[in-house]
Structure 1
Amino acid sequence: MSLAEDRVTPGARTDVMPVESSKSAIAWGPIIGGAVAASGITLILLLLGSGVGLTMVSPWSGESSSAATVGVTAAIWLVVVQWLSSAFGGYLTGRLRTKWAAIHTDEVFFRDTAHGFLSWALATVFVAGFLASSLTSLAGAGANAAGQAAMAAGVAGGAAAASASDTDTTGPSMSTAYFTDALLRPQNIADRANADNGAAAAEISRILLQGAVNGSVPDGDKAYIAGIVSARTGLSEADARTRVDTVLKQIDDAKVAAQAAADKARKAAATSALIGSLSLLVGAFIAAAAAALGGRQRDEEEDLVAVSRGPLV
């Protein structure tokens, strides 16, 4: 039986239409107060976490915690910050609102949870500006690592390309320079190596760059590079080929390392984003539940005060 039916007295008219309340169901004062309190608690805890986190990092070798440990600790602390601030702000929102008279218990519960959710949402908007730089850094870590992979792929010929562009601004572009070099390769590789030191180095750089783009250096190009290395260094053909293979392997290892770093940063960014979204959802639930708890305790206190005063004469 509803509250309205409970208050019906014998002989009273029951055909009177209920009057709609002119007061809004939203009390912005407690919502704003709870949001401000939650934002303040968030900033305090973030500064505390930053101070603790700096103690885990040291420029001295062997004295810092691992990157994985620091990352996991930071993620856990962000979750704790979100939950504590949401609980505190939601509880204040529920305790500070005025008592709703002649409102069904279910409606009071719904309004309290809605007020807690709005307080959490407002506090999240307030704090979003302070967390924007951190989230941007996490989201851009994967892109930066991918850019490093691309730089590593072109590290073999980047400097030579710049040198070639400085010395010959009218020559062919880098996309066609490799094929031009292939057409103009001399029969005697030693003559090429001894005639023009800078041109030979630039040509090798363009070959390495083309190999980095294609994923491998053809055997003919390897033999040509080995011939130039042999003529320049006095090594035998076999030793020169071994040196060429060693350098090419170092380039491939650098590419693989950069790709591994990019993949690790991507996974870390994805994990941080998932944990952050889950933490926000749980924070919203905690704020709503805390507001319902605070509102119920406030109504109970009001009822106790009313009972202690006794009936009005």
Structure 2
Amino acid sequence: MSMEGLPPAPRADVEAYRADRGSRYLQWSPILLGAFAATALSFVMVTFGASVGLGVTSAAPTWRDASAALWILSGIYLILQAILSFGLGGYIAGWVRTPAAPGGPVEHTEQADGLHGLAVWALAVVMGAVLATLLGAATLSRTSSGVTSARTSAAEPLLSYELDRLYRAGRRAPTVDLSSERAEAGRILLTTSSHDGLSADDRTYLIQQVVGTTGLAPADAERRVDTVIANAKTAIARSRRSTIILAFSVATAVLLGAIAAWAAACAGGRHRDGAPLPEWMAHSNALDRRRTAVLP
């Protein structure tokens, strides 16, 4: 169908259409800047929290002595740092972004600012996941270099203290290498957390191994094995609880980070345009000013 016979569209409608379409385009420079700022602040805060002991999980044996309150406090800190980090990134993206239609509707401008905040959140999450993967791969490559898979066990970081106690001996030749025995015992001890628990055959085998490597009497070796089995079961249970808290904290932090990035980007856009803040933000700022005025 020919377009020659149609009347030209009004210029105001064309400008409104272009303003509406233009306000929805993503500007990647503010998004990249906000994502880098969010990732950098998150890395600094997580590193600081880990250095002062606010870590949800740890491979150190002393971590198993930590209380549930410390785990919960560590999870809360992880959530707060995510809100601050993503909020900073979203605010930067909203404040730096150039609005496509300065005279356009406020709702469209806020939606565009919020979408830029969500883009910052998504990109920062991906960057954080890649960084964590690279750091984890580098750590695993350093710890497993030069050691064959037959002489290592997944239980070694978690149950290293229990394995030390299991094969502790008063006298042993300095050339004796118990790497294979420790790896095998670690794999056996991991079955203590299964539904059926440690089998009788595995328990008897561990007692024989302890008798042969340490020279203990069978009765003493049996008591040692039973103690190590109970301690290993407790350590695995505590590790599972800390993993659940970590997963819940990470999921909550990521979800709340998306909300914080959206809200901060809208606030940054309002500061950029000189518009008043939303009602809930203005109310919180008024409360802060009142508190500051009351303080001497």
* TM-score, normalization by structure 2: 0.54
Partner of 1:287: 261
Q: Please tell me whether residue 91 in structure 1 is matched to residue 91 in structure 2.
A: yes
Is the Cα–Cα contact under 8 Å of residues 146 and 258 in structure 1 kept in the other structure? no
Counterpart amino acid of residue 34 in structure 1: G
Instruction: Give the Å deviation of 1:42.
Output: 1.8
Indicate the RMSD between aligned Cα atoms, in angstroms: 4.4
- Please give the secondary structure, in 1, of the residue aligned with 2:238: helix
Deviations 1:201-245 (A, max 9, x none): xxxxxxxxxx9553676xxxxxxx9xxx9xxxxxxxxxxxxx755
Match of 1:214 among 198, 201, 212: 201
Deviations 1:159-198 (A, max 9, x none): xxx9xxxxxxxxxxxxxxxxxxxxxxxxxxxxxxxxxxxx
Supply the distance in 2 between the matched residues of 1:249 and 1:44 (Cα, whole angstroms).
47
Instruction: Give the Å deviation of 1:273.
Output: 0.9
Greater Cα offset, 73-82 or 45-54: 45-54
Q: Please tell me whether residue 266 in structure 1 is matched to residue 240 in structure 2.
A: yes
Supply the distance in 2 between the matched residues of 1:86 and 1:290 (Cα, whole angstroms).
8
Is the Cα–Cα contact under 8 Å of residues 117 and 288 in structure 1 kept in the other structure? yes
- Please give the secondary structure, in 2, of the residue aligned with 1:26: coil
Instruction: Give the Å deviation of 1:75.
Output: 2.8
Cα distance change on mapping 1:67 and 1:277 into 2, 3 Å: same
Matches within 5 A, 1:82-121: 82-101=82-101, 102-121=103-122
Supply the distance in 2 between the matched residues of 1:92 and 1:15 (Cα, whole angstroms).
38
Instruction: Give the Å deviation of 1:246.
Output: 5.6
Cα distance change on mapping 1:100 and 1:300 into 2, 3 Å: farther
Work out the number of aligned pairs and report it: 203
Supply the distance in 1 between the matched residues of 2:85 and 2:248 (Cα, whole angstroms).
20
Partner of 2:30: 30
Partner of 2:124: 123
Supply the distance in 2 between the matched residues of 1:51 and 1:244 (Cα, whole angstroms).
44
Counterpart amino acid of residue 106 in structure 1: E
Instruction: Give the Å deviation of 1:45.
Output: 2.1
Unaligned runs of 5+ in 1: 1-12, 55-61, 138-142, 157-161, 163-210, 218-224, 230-242, 303-313
Counterpart amino acid of residue 84 in structure 1: L
Q: Once the two structures are aligned, what percentage of the paired residues are identical?
A: 26
Deviations 1:268-307 (A, max 9, x none): 11111111111111011101111011112222359xxxxx
- Please give the secondary structure, in 2, of the residue aligned with 1:99: coil
Unaligned runs of 5+ in 2: 1-6, 55-61, 140-153, 168-175, 177-197, 212-216, 277-296
Cα distance change on mapping 1:147 and 1:283 into 2, 3 Å: closer
Partner of 1:42: 42
Supply the distance in 2 between the matched residues of 1:253 and 1:133 (Cα, whole angstroms).
38
Q: Please tell me whether residue 79 in structure 1 is matched to residue 79 in structure 2.
A: yes
Partner of 1:240: none
Cα distance change on mapping 1:263 and 1:65 into 2, 3 Å: closer
Q: Please tell me whether residue 144 in structure 1 is matched to residue 155 in structure 2.
A: yes
Partner of 2:225: 251
Deviations 1:44-96 (A, max 9, x none): 32333344339xxxxxxx9x995336544443332222111111111111111
Instruction: Give the Å deviation of 1:108.
Output: 1.9
Supply the distance in 2 between the matched residues of 1:120 and 1:30 (Cα, whole angstroms).
12
Supply the distance in 1 between the matched residues of 2:250 and 2:136 (Cα, whole angstroms).
10
* TM-score, normalization by structure 1: 0.51
Cα distance change on mapping 1:83 and 1:301 into 2, 3 Å: same
Is the Cα–Cα contact under 8 Å of residues 31 and 116 in structure 1 kept in the other structure? yes
Supply the distance in 2 between the matched residues of 1:122 and 1:113 (Cα, whole angstroms).
14
